[in-house]
């Protein structure tokens, strides 16, 4: 009896060991290392302003992910003022709670270069998002604006068609922002290959909808047979579309623009015919790219400023014909989600 | 014309100079630029400066009374943004409008009270209230820079309104200009504004209610800003509060000052605003047709403002009284 008991106990012990041992062996070292490298790290986003769709979308996805791995996520709102952005970055670098990763949406090619260098020297990884700058950041995540311009031009040419006037109007942003300059370069590259298409006017909107409306009104006044207009941002393309509407040229002028792929800003307007085509940034994917590179950098152990990676977001021109329910993301839904938490 | 020569420079005030420049530009553009004199283009010119002109009317009344309202653009954009936000979140139209209207009038009253009774210089008061209005509305009341007009709302329909193919803004601008003209020229309080602007102390001594009138002017300016904001939203089907950061505020002062409304107060009228708006409208339209980049457009605009101010200083030198009273 005693022997049987002992045997059974031994067998049980064996069995338990047999079952448990492989589990121990399969214990993944990843999560522990991951948690150790990331826990308590600070990520800060300094966009041009927090008040527009792209920044709010990035902040939403970044915050969700950063807080999930035990980090701290903060934003600063320079409200389109370059100096305020510079101040925010300066304060961040010199504060006790210096961010480990600084994500910067640069207003132009040069303004923040020195500050970003300082940040890297202090040990902060610098990520550039959306707008490139003359600075070797640890990573750039965003659009290849040249390629984006090419996509816009191709969409405009397609929107015009072969039997059109082949006159295209541009409403540029300004002459300082890289997104505007490279977009223009990309558009011209495509148009050079189609010499029968001509740019008849290329005023700047200074990213302001009223200015966009006024210059587009003049442009249509001078060239009523324009077949397509490319406005460099959906934030002011509402002005160009108002001018087209006022000139009673809806449906005759194919309006192309680019934006963050927000539902009310882009998809709804493709649906109702305001825009002919929008080159949209897939915001969730772009934010995912940022999250991945942040996680990589924080685990890499490499000093800030070591690597220079470019992660371009896949862009595509969307028209009404290829709109899908998930073509856009919905800012209202994200805000509602944030509010319920 | 006088006995000494072909033209008497002394009789030529700034308004005259600017009007002459505007006419010259117009003639040059009419000859040199194809499509410039097309009726549609002329309507577009007037329309492009309508909102600017409306804001400049409010500014003009304040400046004539020796003040300035730097909160106009903030009030314009933020009041309408708040209004649209209220509508988008389901507040009834009447209630939303009542909120916004009382907010706008309250800011006008606050501006006027601080300038008239607390004796704070207008430039600081309105700079501060402008920032306050922007900051408060942007951070507390709305969620985004751009607020769309709800579909089918009267503001959207207003934007599509045309008489004789002319957009509604033009008529509102013309109507307001006429009302302001009547007010400044033919009402007692309108005339008093000139006295108060020319010499506030003397005006007070002869029994003019200088302080209540000062408050009225800022309320008027705030109310006009609301109208301008509604027209902007009507045309664009949304309002973008980024306009507060733009050069619009300087453009408003530019239109008023370039037309010949002296910053030292007591001079000018609606005609000066119209002349200033005409020059800016023609200039911007011509530069857009020629396709001059925005950077140069701003440079040219700034150079003209500077020139107008210098000419104003030479033609209308500061008298002893202004030197003692100071201006804004």
A164 touches chain B (CB under 8 A): no
Is B288 in contact with A214 (Cβ distance < 8 A)? yes
Q: What is the pLDDT of residue B191?
A: 87
The fraction of chain B above a pLDDT of 70, given in percent, is 91
Q: Residue B242: list chain A partners with CB under 8 A.
A: 49, 51, 80, 207-208, 235
| Average pLDDT over every residue of A43-57 | 91
Is A202 in contact with B44 (Cβ distance < 8 A)? no
Q: How confident is the model at residue A22 (pLDDT cuts 50, 70, 90)?
A: low
CA of B172 vs chain A CAs: smallest distance (Å)? 17
Q: Residue A218: list chain B partners with CB under 8 A.
A: 41, 44, 285, 288-289
| Cα nearest neighbour of B47 on chain A | A214
Diameter of chain B measured on Cα atoms:
71
Position B110 pLDDT exceeds 90: yes
Question: Which of A2-6, A267-271, B217-221, B261-265 has the lowest average pLDDT?
Answer: A2-6
Q: Would strands A101-104 and A277-281 be described as parallel, antiparallel, or unpaired?
A: unpaired
- B266-297 confidence digits (pLDDT tens): 788 888 899 888 888 888 888 888 878 777 88
> Residue A66 burial (CB < 10 Å; 0-12/13-18/19+)?
buried
| Average pLDDT over every residue of A144-156 | 93
A335 touches chain B (CB under 8 A): yes
Is B35 in contact with A52 (Cβ distance < 8 A)? no
A81 touches chain B (CB under 8 A): yes
| Average pLDDT over every residue of A251-279 | 90
Q: Residue B245: list chain A partners with CB under 8 A.
A: 79-81
Position B317 pLDDT exceeds 80: no
| Average pLDDT over every residue of A307-328 | 89
Higher pLDDT, B37 or B322: B37
Counting every residue written for chain A, the total comes to: 341
- B253-262 confidence digits (pLDDT tens): 888 888 878 7
Q: Residue A222: list chain B partners with CB under 8 A.
A: 34-35, 289
Is B291 in contact with A213 (Cβ distance < 8 A)? no
| Average pLDDT over every residue of B123-143 | 89
Is B243 in contact with A208 (Cβ distance < 8 A)? yes
CA of A325 vs chain B CAs: smallest distance (Å)? 21
CA of B202 vs chain A CAs: smallest distance (Å)? 43
Is A209 in contact with B236 (Cβ distance < 8 A)? yes
Cα A145 to chain centroid, rounded: 11
Q: What is the pLDDT of residue B2?
A: 43
Return the HEC string of chain A. Answer: CHHHHHHHHHHHHHHHHHHHHHHHHCCCCHHHHHHHHHCCCEEEEECCCCCCHHHHHHHHHHHHHHHHCCCEEEECCCCCCHHHHHHHHHHHHHCCCCCCEEEECCCCCCCCHHHHHHHHHCCCEEEEECCCCCCCCCEEEECCHHHHHHHHHHHHHHHHCCCCCCEEEEEECCCCCHHHHHHHHHHHHHHHHCCCCEEEECCECCCCHHHHHHHHHHHHHHCCCCCEEEECCHHHHHHHHHHHHHCCCCCCCEEEEEECCEHHHHHHHHHCCCCCEEEEECHHHHHHHHHHHHHHHHHHCCCCCCCCEEEECCEEEEEHHHCCCCCCECHHHHHHHHHHC
**Cβ of A65: how many Cβ atoms within 10 Å?**
19
Position B185 pLDDT exceeds 80: yes
Mutant choice from B84, B242, B281, B284 vs A, greatest count of A C-beta within 10 A: B242
A44 φ/ψ angles, rounded to the nearest 5 degrees: -125, 135
CA of A274 vs chain B CAs: smallest distance (Å)? 12
Per-window interface: A 85-144 vs B, CB < 8 A:
none
Is B246 in contact with A175 (Cβ distance < 8 A)? no
Higher pLDDT, A155 or A2: A155
Q: Which CATH class is domain A145-281?
A: alpha beta
Smallest Cβ–Cβ distance between B242 and the set A80, A242, A245 belongs to: A80
CA of B203 vs chain A CAs: smallest distance (Å)? 41
Q: What is the pLDDT of residue A194?
A: 92
Average pLDDT of chain B to the nearest whole number: 84
Is B245 in contact with A53 (Cβ distance < 8 A)? no
A250 touches chain B (CB under 8 A): no
Q: What is the pLDDT of residue A227?
A: 93
Q: What is the pLDDT of residue B152?
A: 80
Position B4 pLDDT exceeds 50: no
CA of A301 vs chain B CAs: smallest distance (Å)? 38
Position B98 pLDDT exceeds 90: yes
Quickly tell me which residue has 């090419």 as its tokens.
A150
Q: Which ipTM score applies to this complex?
A: 0.77
A217 touches chain B (CB under 8 A): yes
**Cβ of B123: how many Cβ atoms within 10 Å?**
14
| Cα nearest neighbour of B150 on chain A | A264
> Residue B202 burial (CB < 10 Å; 0-12/13-18/19+)?
middle
Position A258 pLDDT exceeds 90: yes
Q: From residue A232, give the alpha-carbon distance in Å to each of A206, A211, B185.
A: 10, 13, 47
Is A221 in contact with B294 (Cβ distance < 8 A)? no
Q: For A38-143+283-314, which CATH superfamily applies?
A: Response regulator (3.40.50.2300)
Residue spans per domain, chain A:
38-143+283-314, 145-281
CA of A174 vs chain B CAs: smallest distance (Å)? 7
**A38-143+283-314 matches A145-281 in fold:** yes
């Amino acid at each position: 009896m005693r022997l049987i008991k002992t045997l059974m106990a031994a067998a049980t012990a064996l069995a338990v060991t047999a079952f448990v041992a492989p589990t121990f062996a399969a214990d993944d070292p990843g999560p522990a290392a991951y948690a150790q490298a990331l826990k308590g790290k600070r990520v800060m986003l300094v966009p041009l302003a927090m008040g527009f769709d792209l920044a709010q979308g990035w902040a939403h996805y970044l915050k969700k992910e950063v807080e999930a791995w035990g980090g701290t996520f903060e934003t600063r709102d320079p409200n389109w003022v370059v100096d305020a952005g510079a101040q925010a970055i300066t304060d961040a670098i010199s504060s006790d709670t210096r961010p480990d990763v600084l994500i910067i949406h640069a207003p132009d090619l040069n303004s923040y270069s020195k500050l970003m260098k300082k940040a890297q020297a202090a040990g902060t990884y610098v990520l550039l998002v959306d707008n490139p700058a003359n600075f070797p950041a640890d990573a750039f995540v965003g659009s290849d604006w040249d390629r984006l311009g090419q996509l816009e031009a191709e969409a405009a040419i397609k929107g015009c068609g072969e039997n059109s006037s082949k006159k295209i109007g541009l409403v540029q942003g300004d002459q300082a922002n890289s997104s505007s300059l490279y977009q223009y370069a990309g558009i011209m590259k495509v148009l050079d290959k189609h010499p029968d298409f001509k740019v008849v006017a290329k005023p700047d909107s200074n990213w302001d909808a009223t200015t966009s409306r006024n210059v587009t009104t003049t442009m249509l006044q001078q060239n009523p047979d324009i077949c397509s207009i490319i406005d460099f941002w959906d934030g002011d393309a509402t002005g160009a579309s108002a001018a087209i509407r006022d000139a009673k040229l809806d449906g005759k002028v194919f309006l192309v623009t680019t934006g963050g792929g927000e539902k009310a800003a882009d998809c709804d307007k493709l649906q109702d015919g305001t825009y002919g085509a929008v080159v949209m940034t897939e915001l969730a994917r772009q934010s995912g790219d940022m999250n991945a590179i942040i996680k990589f950098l924080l685990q890499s152990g490499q000093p800030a400023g070591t690597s220079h990676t470019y992660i371009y977001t896949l862009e595509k021109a969307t028209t009404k014909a290829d709109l899908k329910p998930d073509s856009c993301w919905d800012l209202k839904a994200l805000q509602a989600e944030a509010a319920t938490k | 014309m006088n006995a000494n020569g072909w033209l008497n420079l002394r009789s030529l005030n700034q308004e005259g100079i600017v009007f002459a420049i505007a006419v010259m530009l117009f003639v040059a553009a009419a000859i040199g630029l194809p499509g410039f004199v097309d009726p549609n283009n002329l309507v577009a010119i007037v329309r492009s400066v309508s909102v600017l002109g409306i804001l400049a009317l409010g500014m003009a009344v304040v400046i004539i009374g020796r003040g300035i309202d730097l909160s106009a653009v903030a009030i314009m954009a933020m009041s309408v943004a708040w209004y649209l936000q209220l509508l988008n979140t389901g507040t009834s139209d009447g209630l939303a409008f009542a909120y916004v209207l009382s907010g706008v009038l309250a800011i006008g009253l606050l501006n006027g009270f601080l300038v008239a009774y607390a004796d704070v210089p207008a430039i600081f008061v309105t700079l501060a209230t402008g920032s306050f209005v922007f900051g408060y509305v942007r951070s507390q009341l709305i969620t985004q820079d751009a607020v769309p007009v709800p579909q089918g709302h009267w503001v959207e329909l207003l934007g599509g309104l045309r008489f004789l193919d002319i957009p509604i803004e033009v008529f509102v601008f013309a109507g307001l200009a006429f009302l302001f003209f009547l007010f400044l020229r033919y009402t007692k309080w309108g005339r008093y504004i000139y006295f108060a602007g020319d010499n506030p102390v003397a005006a007070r001594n002869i029994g003019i209610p200088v302080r209540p009138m000062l408050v009225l002017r800022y309320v008027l300016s705030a109310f006009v800003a609301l109208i301008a904001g509604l027209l902007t939203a009507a045309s664009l089907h949304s309002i973008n509060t980024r306009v507060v950061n733009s050069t619009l505020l300087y453009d408003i002062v530019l239109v008023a000052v370039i037309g010949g409304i002296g910053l030292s107060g007591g001079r000018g009228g609606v005609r000066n605003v119209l002349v200033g708006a005409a020059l800016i409208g023609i200039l911007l339209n011509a530069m857009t047709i020629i396709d001059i980049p925005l950077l140069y457009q701003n440079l040219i605009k700034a150079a003209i403002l500077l020139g107008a101010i210098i000419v104003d200083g030479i033609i209308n030198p500061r008298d002893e009284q202004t030197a003692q009273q100071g201006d804004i």
